Amino acid sequence: MPHESEKIIDNWHNVLHRIDQACQTADCDTPVKLLAVSKTKPAWMVKALYDKGQRDFGENYLQDALEKIEALGTLDEIHWHFIGQIQSNKTATIAQYFDWVHSVDRFKIARRLSEQRPERLSALNLCLQINIDNEPQKGGVAPEDAAKLAREIETLPNLRLRGLMAIPKPANSEEQQLASFKSLEDLFQQIKSQLKKAEDFDTLSMGMSGDLESAIAAGSTMVRVGSDIFGART
Ligand SMILES: *Cc1c(COP(=O)(O)O)cnc(C)c1O
């Protein structure tokens, strides 16, 4: 395991370096945050990165995530982000154990998260997932319905509407990739201008292992990277 954790730490440094380079090229005005996507990977891998200073971890599968949260949840300042599909019978657990949810695409889910957020916790940070390329099988609200949903959700207590998340379709070219990310950035600005609490709306969660450079070039503020840090998933 020592050897394997060195490898992961190495990978993590490489990803931080790529983010830094991309940010210099894009002349970013705010630093881009790295969300380390630890889905399907064991708690010791999360701990190895935590010990180096990584604080934000992304999870897709509730059972898998809860085991890690139980094991590591008391670590200072560790932040858990739920980025997977949300079934409505799971909202209470998500509201109880997570700091962020990136994958909300319906008012009903947001309302349940708000109602079920325990009082002792601060507001749950929330991003709307956008189906940016209008793919029929994919989660996310349609771009044309997103502004209305955002205005409705920002009235709910116990939530803080932070921004948008998307997973663009696999692109055939870098231009196509950049175009999807830019259309998300346009939508982000458009929605922000319509919100009462616009100052809370500061997060554009886009970019993964294969396309974080394009995402940062288009204005990403948070990239979600799994396989380039932790290795391929089985
Ligand atoms: C798995 C996953 C990621 C990470 O993808 P990689 O290509 O492994 O970096 C990012 N976002 C979401 C929503 C995911 O499900």
Q: What is the pLDDT of residues 16-28, one digit of tens each?
A: 999 999 999 999 9
Task: Measure the N-to-C terminal CA separation of the chain; round to a whole number of Å.
Answer: 18
Q: Read off the pLDDT band of 171 (50, 70, 90).
A: confident
- Nearest residue (by CA) to ligand 1, atom 14, is 83
Among 131, 128, 133, 137, CA closest to 105 = 128
SS3 129: strand
Q: pLDDT value at position 48?
A: 97
- Mean pLDDT to the nearest integer, 179-190: 97
Residues in Cβ contact with 102 at an 8 Å cutoff, skipping those fewer than 6 apart: 58, 81, 82, 83, 126, 127, 129, 165, 205, 224
Q: What is the mean pLDDT of the chain?
A: 96
Would you state the structure tokens that stand for residue 232, as one six-digit string?
A: 């391929």
Atom of ligand 1 nearest to the CA of 210: 7
Class level of CATH domain 2-230: alpha beta
Work out the angle at residue 29's Cα, subtended by the Cα atoms of residues 27 and 30, and round it to the nearest 5 degrees. 125
- For residue 120, report the distance from its CA to the centre of ligand 1, in Å: 31
Binding pocket residue ranges, ligand 1, CB within 6 Å: 37, 39, 60, 83, 167, 208-210, 224-228
- Mean pLDDT to the nearest integer, 56-73: 96
User: Does residue 2 register a pLDDT over 80?
Assistant: no
Which mutation among 8, 15, 83 tests ligand 1's pocket best, with the greatest number of atoms within 8 A of CB?
83
Measured CA distances, 74 to 128, 147, 202 (Å): 28, 36, 27
This prediction has a pTM of: 0.97
| Percent of all residues in the chain with a pLDDT value above 70, rounded to a whole number | 99
Q: pLDDT value at position 3?
A: 83
CA–CA separation, 159 vs 115, rounded Å? 9
